[in-house]
Amino acid sequence: MTADDDSPDSASASSSPTRNDDGRLSPAFLATLITIPVMIIVGFITFAVLRDGTSSPLDGMAAQPGTEQACAPLMAALPTTLGSYSDKSVTGSSAKWRASNGDAVFLRCGVARPPGLAPSSRLQVVDSAQWFITDDRDNGVAYVAVDHRPYVALWLPMNSGTAPISGITALIDKHLARAPLELG
């Protein structure tokens, strides 16, 4: 054994799994260093593309029990397109329409009476229904039709136009019972 063989550098280079005998990083270690971040990025992209995207701003609204039967005629009558929104999907008492830019209109039949509805509430009258705004965000507005039963919630993205709310209002008036306002 020579003095060079006992030096800490030569011992660590030959015993390290990350370096080969000449002190360079091993090809397997380099491949691992490259593969792990790439796989993480691919995983995030795959998740973003494949996620169902069924969550909506209306999901946090409380449900009114026992409304499934009353909602069924409205849900069955929903059109495949709503203005520039198409690609309709229906799950139970909820529906979603997507636009080509990724925005979505959401509808949920059978929500509970909005807790903020009061005698001083400002209501939006669209054709034959009165709508109460429950949530106003930078990217859209949540409405609840408050003069028909069961209550129907509608999420409209900003710049969605009037076609979605007008179309839904006509269907609500046709398929759901008119009811007095229940002001808190």
Reported as a single tens digit per residue, the pLDDT across 107-134 is: 999 999 998 898 888 898 898 899 999 9
Q: Where are the domains of the chain?
A: 8-50, 68-178
78 closest CA partner among 178, 179, 176, 181: 176
User: What pLDDT, on the 0 to 100 scale, is given for residue 178?
Assistant: 93
The tally of CA atoms less than 13 A away on the side-chain side of residue 175 is 19
Burial of 142 (C-beta count, 10 Å sphere; 0-12/13-18/19+)? buried
The residues of the chain scoring below 70 in pLDDT are 1-16, 46-55
Quick one: pLDDT at residue 50? Answer: 54
pLDDT at 12: 46
> Residue 39: its pLDDT value, please?
82
Q: Would you call the peptide bond into 150 cis, given omega within 30 degrees of 0 as the criterion?
A: yes
Which pLDDT belongs to residue 49?
56
pLDDT of residue 11: 46
pLDDT in the model for residue 40: 84
